[in-house]
Amino acid sequence: MLIYLQLVLAMFFYGLSFVSTKIVLTSLGPITILWVRLLLSAGFLILLDSVIPDRRDVRSRWPHRADLGSLLLVTLFQPLLYFVAETTGLQYVSASIASIIVATIPVFTPVFALPFLGERIRPLTVVGLLLSLAGVAAIVLERQIEAQFTPGGLALVFTAVLAAVGYTIAVKRVAGRYRPLTIVKLQSLFGLPVLLILGLTIEGVPASLPPPPAMAHLLYLGIFPSSLAFVFLSTGIRKLGANRTNVFVNLVPVFTAVVAWVVLGELFTVQKIVGMAVVILGVLTAQRSAGRPGPQVGTDALPEIPRR
């Protein structure tokens, strides 16, 4: 039950991040937001990784030379490609539209998990995905969507979706050798220099500090979606597999709708309540498909990479 609670919390953190990012974008550029997020995330995770006991060999807190390629691939997908595409895309796409696009991650995941991880697609998983997508559509399409997007913005958010799928595949291959906390710490450390150089080159040094509300949302983005949510997500991928874990992504628009109601005063109608119930039903249906798991190629079945 703990792993399911962690995944739900991760999706809550991600759902709120759409609102927080929109608020911070009024004060800072997208790349500046990202390198500050990673700076906060890296510092927080280094501290956390140093104080929480690790049952593995202490050397697993830092990368082995043979694993550098795999860890750099993880970093390429997230935080680099995903965060840059999503944050930049949110300048041209409304949070609601972005959330429904992000909800398609579980639809694309089985397509890539089958050839790369050998994870089978079970009928109940498909039913659960369809139910979840129907619920998401009911939430987002409740009212007519105004022209709050551009084709370029949609392309950026879809790029983020593909990056999230790539991250799911890549992290599965190192999850058996490093604990999730260490993986997220390393991807933050590896991605920080790249985004820092990009941010200073493209957007320069911020002229002033953002106002306190934006600072609070920036701190939230660095600690919760950029750190704890990734730790929980990596744990889920290792224990449940790529397909079952990414079904939880369909909860993100549910939390976004709730936060928008509380923070922005949007109407919380019967249609939204029904949509959220259908999303949750879809998640539960997909999880039932794992009652008698078939053969999978997960981290335990992967060949051990020699240490050097």
Model confidence pLDDT, tens digit, residues 103-156: 777 777 776 766 666 667 777 777 877 887 787 777 766 654 544 567 788 889
Distance of alpha carbon 220 from alpha carbon 130, whole angstroms: 32
- Crossing angle of helices 180-202/68-75, nearest 10°? 60
| Residue at 219 is within a domain | yes
**What count of other Cβ atoms lies within 10 Å of the Cβ of residue 203?**
15
Which of the pair, 122 or 6, is modelled with greater confidence? 6
**Cβ(161)–Cβ(105) under 8 Å?**
yes
Rounded to the nearest 5 percent, the helix, strand and coil shares of the chain are: 75, 0, 25
Distance of CA 187 to the CA centre of its chain: 13
Does the residue 180 lie in any domain? yes
pLDDT band at 209 (very low <50, low <70, confident <90, very high): confident
What contacts 212, CB < 8 A, 6 or more positions away? none
What are the residues facing 16 on neighbouring strands? none
Q: 84 or 305: which carries more pLDDT confidence?
A: 84
Instruction: Assess contact for 132 and 279: CB atoms under 8 A.
Output: yes
DSSP annotation of 223 reads H
- Which one-letter DSSP state was computed for residue 162? H
The more confident residue out of 67 and 86 is 86
Give domain status of residue 254, yes or no: no
Instruction: Yes or no: say if 254 and 111 are a contact pair by the CB < 8 Å rule.
Output: no
For 102-146, give the secondary structure using H, E and C.
HCCHHHHHHHHHHHHHCCCCCHHHHHHHHHHHHHHHHHHCCCCCC
- pLDDT: which is higher, 29 or 116: 29
CB atoms within 10 A of CB 86: 27
Q: Is the pLDDT of residue 96 over 50?
A: yes
Structural contact between residues 176 and 239, judged by C-beta atoms closer than 8 angstroms? no
Query: What whole-number percentage of the chain has pLDDT above 90?
Result: 19
Q: Is 57 exposed, middle or buried (0-12, 13-18, 19+ CB in 10 A)?
A: exposed
Q: Poorest-confidence range of 88-102, 127-141, 184-198, 263-277?
A: 263-277
79 backbone dihedrals φ, ψ, rounded to 5°? -95, -10
CA distance 201 to 258: 37
Count: domains in the chain: 1
Q: According to the per-residue pLDDT averaged within each range, which of 96-100, 105-109, 146-150, 229-233 is highest?
A: 229-233
Q: Is residue 72 part of a domain?
A: yes
Say if residue 179's pLDDT is above 90: no
**Is residue 30 a part of any domain in this protein?**
yes
Give a yes or no: residue 232 inside a domain. yes
Expressed as residue numbers, the domain containing 179 is 2-122+146-240
pLDDT at 35 over 90: yes
| pLDDT value of residue 53 | 63
Q: What is the pLDDT of residues 250-275, one digit of tens each?
A: 788 788 778 877 876 666 677 777 87
Residue with tokens 């990202």: 34
Cα distance between residue 150 and residue 24, in whole Å = 21
pLDDT at 294 over 50: no
- Model pLDDT, residue 197: 94
Looking at every residue in the chain, the average pLDDT score rounds to: 78
Q: Is residue 131 part of a domain?
A: no
70 within some domain: yes
| Cβ contacts of 273 within 8 Å, gap of 6 or more | none
How much is the average pLDDT of 27-36? 92
